[in-house]
Structure 1
Amino acid sequence: METPLKAWLEKDGALLRLRLSRPKANLVDAAMIAALHAALGQYRRHVMLRGVLVDAEGPHFSFGASVEEHLPAQCATMLASLHALLLEMLEFPVPVMVAVQGQCLGGGLELALACGRIFAAPNAQFGQPEIKLGVFAPAASALLPYRVNQPDAEDLLLTGRSIAADEALRMGLVQQLAEDPAAAAVGWFDQHLVGRSAAALACATVAARGVMQRQVRERLAELERLYLEWLMRTHDANEGLAAFLEKRQPAWTHQ
């Protein structure tokens, strides 16, 4: 089976490129999570590394996680593996950038939120649509308040609406718009990071993110319990997921 991820080094080993390569959806499913985890583990100790750039093939960055893996039989495993990956990205010892085009939704946006600077194409769309399925987004609930203000985080989490790249820029979710966001990210890396000491950059990254890392780790554990022990015992969570897979409107009981 072809790997869902391409990984390689550039800039004489200074930049790790990770490319989601299962267009058009680039689902953040079990296979993608495992591939990203393996690549990060392989290159984590690379002595010359000064940055990571995550991007994607095809017209869209990612449609999000697999809805099938959200069903009761699999959701505990899915959440644990996704959250372990996001923590690994948050705690990676060099800056992680992400370049987004097209749709960046659900688990795809959670993946981007665990990175540092987000570079986006003008056509990019960002959203956490989980609430429309009768569930919520644990990782985004922990990460969004670090990226935007609390009311804007609640807007995205509670409405499920998608926002365009220009609104995401004004909100502070995106740091730069560019027709070629990957090239813009590489340009930013060349200007600001490639000339730095890898050892100093690793220490500075840990120093800058330390409090956030600890708080997000604690919040994810709390949110997993909320998701598994409360939400997934409701009728509406199971009804919403089933309705999506059956391509019909959900019948909410509000319980």
Structure 2
Amino acid sequence: MSDDLLVEVRGSVMWLTIHRPERRNAINAAVLSGIRQALEDAGRNRQLRAIVLTGAGENAFCSGADLREPSFRFDYAQPYQWLADLLRAARRCVTPIIARVNGACLAGGMGLLAMCDMAVASRAAVFGLPEVKVGVFPAQVLSVLQHQLPRRVLTEMCITGATIDAEQALAYGLVNHLADGDLDAKLDWLLGRLLDKSPSAIRRALYTMKQIEALPFEASIAFTESQIGLAALTEDCREGLSAFIEKRQPNWTGQ
């Protein structure tokens, strides 16, 4: 890991904090590779129930690529690049990832937001795709963002560089909840709603949702009918049904 990315485990939640406040938490290769490694590590740790991704300070979640570094120059002999690899890793991740958007979320930061499963934002947060202002466009970001914003809104943001505020982001479905005051209180409320649920069911749900997103109906329904059959074989399913019948709280094993 790098000093630019802080990794902390708080109970059953892994916190990933981009720690570059002097650069408005702009991302570089070390940050991207660090987040990707953390997601892969979390997937192997059954004790972790959720991942929170945020930025240091109160001004920025992530302002995108650090333009003082060679962000858009790649090793062209290497077909897989830093941001794309991170987005692939997030796609494979079945531990819920929650974005804690504490300020400006711009450019590549929008990609980090979009790769998360849920998001809580400050009402002071702003969202935008300003790449066109420096002669590029949000190519990789579009792969994860295109299904989360209305097409005409996304087009306007992409080709004008215009920003939207937190209320608009909520209305468009880009974030789940806005914090009226204490952002962490709202985040804890959301975490509380998932940490008492079946770990195996959550993993299966995220896996299934990500697999069927681009499938036509017949392929989707065939896949999902097999998945519900597999879910019924888990210890958590047996425990959940027993707890319901016995009118008690379930004791999840995550198996």
TM-score by length of 1: 0.75
Q: Which residue of 2 aligns with 1:93?
A: 94
RMSD: 2.4
How much does 1:182 deviate? 3.5
CA contact (8 A) 1:145 1:153 kept: yes
Q: Which amino acid aligns with 1:162?
A: T
Post-superposition Cα deviations, 1:157-203, rounded to whole Å, max 9, x if no partner, equal 11111111111112221211103333312211112x11122222111
Q: Which residue of 1 aligns with 2:21?
A: 23
1:194 correspondence with 2:181: no
| Alpha-carbon spacing, 1:35–1:72, altered in 2? closer, same or farther (3 Å) | closer
How much does 1:71 deviate? 4.3
How much does 1:2 deviate? 5.6
Q: How does 1:160-171 map to 2 (within 5 A)?
A: 160-171=161-172
Q: Which residue of 2 aligns with 1:145?
A: 146
Identify unmatched segments of 5+ residues in structure 2.
Answer: 217-255
CA contact (8 A) 2:2 2:34 kept: no
Post-superposition Cα deviations, 1:47-96, rounded to whole Å, max 9, x if no partner, equal 12221111111121111112232344668869711111012112211211
Instruction: Provide the secondary structure at the position in 2 that maps to 1:189.
Output: helix
Instruction: Provide the secondary structure at the position in 2 that maps to 1:40.
Output: helix
Looking at structure 2, the residues matched to 126 and 79 of structure 1 have their Cα atoms a distance apart, in angstroms, of 27
Q: Which residue of 1 aligns with 2:7?
A: 7
TM-score by length of 2: 0.75
Higher normalized contact order (CA 8 Å, seq sep 6+, divided by chain length): 1
Identify unmatched segments of 5+ residues in structure 1.
Answer: 216-255
Looking at structure 2, the residues matched to 187 and 140 of structure 1 have their Cα atoms a distance apart, in angstroms, of 29
| Alpha-carbon spacing, 1:154–1:79, altered in 2? closer, same or farther (3 Å) | farther
Q: Answer with 1 or 2: which has the greater Rg.
A: 2
Post-superposition Cα deviations, 1:101-154, rounded to whole Å, max 9, x if no partner, equal 221111111111100112110110111111111211112222222112111111
Instruction: Provide the secondary structure at the position in 2 that maps to 1:70.
Output: coil
CA contact (8 A) 1:50 1:201 kept: no
Looking at structure 2, the residues matched to 213 and 114 of structure 1 have their Cα atoms a distance apart, in angstroms, of 16
Q: Which amino acid aligns with 2:54?
A: D
Post-superposition Cα deviations, 1:7-45, rounded to whole Å, max 9, x if no partner, equal 12223xx22111111213211111111211222222221
Looking at structure 2, the residues matched to 71 and 30 of structure 1 have their Cα atoms a distance apart, in angstroms, of 11
Q: Which residue of 2 aligns with 1:157?
A: 158
Q: Which amino acid aligns with 1:171?
A: Y
| Alpha-carbon spacing, 1:92–1:9, altered in 2? closer, same or farther (3 Å) | same
Looking at structure 1, the residues matched to 102 and 136 of structure 2 have their Cα atoms a distance apart, in angstroms, of 26
Identity percentage of aligned residues:
28
Q: How does 1:1-255 map to 2 (within 5 A)?
A: 3-11=3-11, 14-24=12-22, 25-58=24-57, 59-67=59-67, 68-72=69-73, 80-178=81-179, 179-191=181-193, 193-212=194-213
